[in-house]
Amino acid sequence: MSREQKNMWNASSDNQEMKKSSEYDYEVFLSFRGPYTHTDIADYLYVSMIDVGIRAYRDYEELCTGEEISGQFLQAIQHSKISIPIFSKGYANSPWCLRDLVKMVESKNIGG
């Protein structure tokens, strides 16, 4: 394969990846609970992803005042390429987190 053919193949692959990414509002949905998780690992992951150009969603960054929390989270999960639950103490005690987790699993099973 010539250098020109390799460059054309790489450009085609890059375009396909960009097309797949653009099908989603977010590339990553972060689910977490608690102030320590929020200011520690979740913040580190979010900032790191944003710094390299990954469209990430985290609750307090995207949620608008007055909007229904559950509905917006569930929609963000559906419109994210992948979801990352960050399990911490108290995560399973939160009905909101468990609802998010169920939606993540459902979205994965439906969307692949």
pLDDT tens digits for 27-56?
999 988 877 777 788 889 999 999 999 999
Lowest mean pLDDT among 7-16, 56-65, 73-82: 7-16
What's this model's pTM, rounded to 2 decimal places? 0.69
Which amino acid is located at 92 in the chain?
A
Three-state secondary-structure class, residue 30: strand
Structure tokens at 63: 């949620």
SS3 track for 31-96: ECCCHHHHHCHHHHHHHHHHHCCCCEECHHHHCCCCCCHHHHHHHHHHCEEEEEECCCCCHHHCHH
Identify the pLDDT of residue 112: 58
Asked if residue 84 lies in contact with residue 26, where contact means CB atoms within 8 angstroms, the answer is no
Lowest mean pLDDT among 1-10, 29-38, 62-71, 81-90: 1-10
